[in-house]
Structure 1
């Protein structure tokens, strides 16, 4: 047999193998989501923005975030609880209907509050906190939570995956400290981009960073 023919066959087999592997990896990635790691931060309403930074003040964009229209602002505040305080807590924009402080469980130990693990906006029976800005301070009766892990996605992606808004799913983290994450809330909207949000404690435990991926687990 001509040696050139053998080499050609080996070349074709190698190319075929690489194409198949690339297609398999693409299919795998289609059932995954990028990860966004959320450190402590605060969302302000208009009244608290005025009290903390001055009447009519506006947030200054520092960095755009993964979700369309969402950004980290240049502005920061200090939050103070019964036991301690934390400075340079980043304000996220745009302004919201109600002020919400998102911290980790460990942050709660430092501040002396017990944040419930909640979906964003569910502030009933959550602890309050004092918020201190450059122009004044406010004492909130509620609003401190530890964010429930969740995934933002568009309706198109939700249909492809067979998910619905408000559903709880499982995702798998790969790597040395990988794990199966249960009770991941699905949030569906045309305004969203695909991204799973976990807090910094979860990220440290799993050994992941912004941009790493979590894989959807098919439940029977």
Structure 2
């Protein structure tokens, strides 16, 4: 086999791998806590694992809190572990309206000029000054996945949800790349409802964007 044939074979394999269905995870409202805030809410109580998540090392904890806003409250909101360097609350726009706050659409960790609210547990409470967001829809990828799909950290792409009763196309889907990430698209509950994601076999597929396959960074 000559070099041209090898390249042709490799390109064929990469093209086939790009057509892999991408698992879709539905992200319900949840809280990431820093160590200090966790100790305020759960003093002398180690965080405990309820269920491991698809992303390596991440899990849903047994511990839950109540979110309290100006207009209402959301009970039994799950804590996700492990603990982080800063506290972040992720909700949907429907949740934001129920709580009576205006939560901006942000990537995880981008918390400047975000609203706060009160977090209450059975053991304590705290006023969070900021850190509440509606998470921007995104796809987690390893560096190998990103190489196969031809994307980079910070790219925004177009994705079709297939296998559901209502085929839906989402634009401006953020690409997040890290060595410890597993291939998975994350949508919040509002987006999942819009796409009628009741079928566990539904999946995401990347789509062309304009004259080139992927949108530019922003």
TM over 0.5: yes
- Larger helix proportion of the pair: 1
- Given candidates 186, 206, 215, the residue that maps to 1:216 is 206
State how far apart, in whole Å, the 1-side matches of 2:22 and 2:65 are.
31
- 2:160 aligned with 1:172, yes or no? yes
Question: Are 2:138 and 1:160 equivalent residues in the alignment?
Answer: no
Q: How does 1:32-111 map to 2 (within 5 A)?
A: 32-55=21-44, 57-111=45-99
Give unpaired runs (5+ residues) of structure 2: 1-14, 212-218
Number of residue pairs aligned between Structure 1 and Structure 2? 196
Show structure 1 runs of 4+ deviating over 6 A.
none
Rg comparison, structure with higher value? 1
Q: Which residue of 2 aligns with 1:206?
A: 195
Tell me the TM-score normalized by structure 2: 0.85
Gaps of 5+ in 1: 1-25
Separation (CA, whole Å) in 2 of partners of 1:108 and 1:88: 16
Q: Which moved more, 1:210-219 or 1:153-162?
A: 210-219
- Cα RMSD of the aligned pairs, angstroms, is 1.9
- State the TM-score, normalizing by the size of structure 1: 0.84
Report deviation, 1:176: 3.2
SS state at 1:125 partner: coil
> Aligned runs of 1:4-19 on 2, under 5 Å?
none
In structure 2, C-alpha distance between the alignment counterparts of 1:217 and 1:39, rounded to whole Å? 26
The offset of 1:29, in angstroms, is 7.0
